[in-house]
Structure 1
C-alpha cells in the first residue's frame, strides 16, 4: 500500500457573516460568524436573519439547557439475570465509578449511568461533562477505565465493545434527544410585524402555517426522527468546517424542531438544537485557520472550563435560527427561493 507523503488541504469558500446579535446564558454580544460552504447562497440567507437580529432588542436569545458527552459500552453476561444483577451493582456503586473517572482525567466528570439489557448483553450508557472539548476521545478513555473497574468486581461480565451504539454517535436516534448528548440549546426571537413584512416579505400567519405544514406534518409523513426543520444541516456543516469540528456530527446535530407562533402579527420563532457536538479544544483546533476563527469568535478567552464551548454552541444555535428563518420566509412566496438562487449564482459568475 502506498503511503501519502503529505496531507493535502481541500479549499472551501468561507465568509464571515453578520454580525448576529445574540443574548442569553452563553453569549451576550454582536458577532460575525464563519461559514465554510460551496453552497454560497447560504451566506446572504443567513445574513438576512442576522440583519433582523440587529433590529430586534436583545436579538436572538439562546439558552443552553444541558451539556454532556456519552459513550455506551457492551458487556456480556451468561444470561439476562446475571446482566440485571450487574446493572444493579453498577447503579449502587456509581460514586465509585465517578471517582475513577475524576482520577484519570482533569476535565471528565461522570454525570449519569443508564443501562439496557438485551438477552445476555448489558449496554451501559455513560454521560460525562467534558469541559471545552467535544469529548469523543475523553469519554472513550473514561469508558475504557470504567469497563476495567466493573469487571474487577467479579461480576462475571466479559468485554463486548467499547462502543455499543446506545451512545449514540453520528446516527439519527431517539435516545440522544431523550437522555441528552452534546450541548443542548434553544434559540428564539420575537420579530415585530413591521419587520416580518419589510425584511422577510411575509407575515407571521404564513410563517406559522409553513412551519406546521412543512416542518412538522411534512417531516412526520417522511418518517423524521425527533426532528422537524427545514435545513439545520446547512448552517451546522458550514460552521463546523470553519471551526474544526467533526463534521460527521451534523447527523445527530441536525435533529431538532423549529417552532413558531403568531402573536397578534408579531412572529415568535424558535429553533431547538439538542445535540450540538462541538468544542473549542481537541482534534482539528490546532490548525492555523481554525485557531484564528475561534479567537475571532471570542472562544479562546480565559474562562471556566466549558464556558468557551458553551459560547460556541450559542453562536451556532443563533446562526441556525438566522438561516432557518430566512429560508422559510422565502418559501412562503411562490418562486422567491429559485429566483434568489439564480440571481446570486449569476452575480458570482460575473465576478469570476
Structure 2
C-alpha cells in the first residue's frame, strides 16, 4: 500500500490540485469526491469524446497547477514532470506507469477490484477528509464493479436505502450512474461538466435524479437506444463473437453492445458507431459475458485500426480515425487462435 500512502501525502500536501477525469460516471464521481475532500482548483475533462488525456491538456495543467491527478484515466505517454502527477485508475496500464503515485489495482493488487471513484473515496477516507461515501460508489455501479474490499469498506458508511434494488429495479446509485452517463452520452465533456456540478451539490441521490437536464438526457438516450435496437443487426464472426454497425450522434455503443449481448446470446458483441464524435474519432464498444476478455480484444483491434483501445474483461472500447474496414479488422482479430484472446 506504499503507493496509496504516497498518494494521500501528495493530496494532503498540495493546495493547488487539478483533476483530469474521464467523462463517464466513474470519472465524474471520482472528480466530485476529490474536489470535496481536497484542495482541487480545477477539474478538466477530455474534449469531444476523446479517449485518454490529450498531451496539450496535460502540459497546460502541469504549467498551471502544483499537482495533477488523473481519475479513471492515465497520463499520455511521455508526460512531462511525472513527479507532479498522481494516477487514480483501474484500467490495465500500458507499460509501467510513470507518476509520483499510482493508485491502481493492477499496480497495487491488494486493492482488489475497484472503480476509480471508489479509490478516490478510499483516499479521502484515509486522509480523514470530509466526503459523501455514496458519491464515491456511483462509479462502482456505473462500471459494474460494486465489489471488492474498497467498495465494501465504503459501503458501510452509505445509507442502505441507497443500495436497495431487486426485482429488476435499479437501486438509487445505479440510477444516479445512469443519469450521469446519459449526460455524457448526449453532450460528451459538456454533459460531464453539468453532471459534476449536479452531483457536487446533491445532498442525496434523489437530488441528482430530480435534475431536469440530466433527466432529459436520460430520456433522449432511451429513445435513441430503442431506435438503434430496432435497426441493429449483429454479424456472427464465429467463436461466439459478433459485430453490429450503427450511426448515431449519441455515445450509446456500450448500451447497445450490452443489450445485444443479452439478446443474441453471444460471448462478446462489438458495436461500431460510424458517426464521428465531436473530437473527430469513431468508436467501437465491446461487451462480454466474461468468457472472452473484451479488453484484450479491444487492444488487438486498436492495433489493427491504428487507434487506441483498452478496458476490462467485460467492457472495453477502441477509438480511431474514420477510414479502416472495421469488419475485416474484427474478423482478423477474432480468427486468431487462443490463448491470446482467451476464446
TM, length-normalised to structure 2? 0.27
Larger radius of gyration, structure 1 or 2?
Answer: 1
Higher strand share: 1
Q: Give the TM-score, by structure 1 length.
A: 0.26
Higher relative contact order (CA 8 A, sep 6+): 1
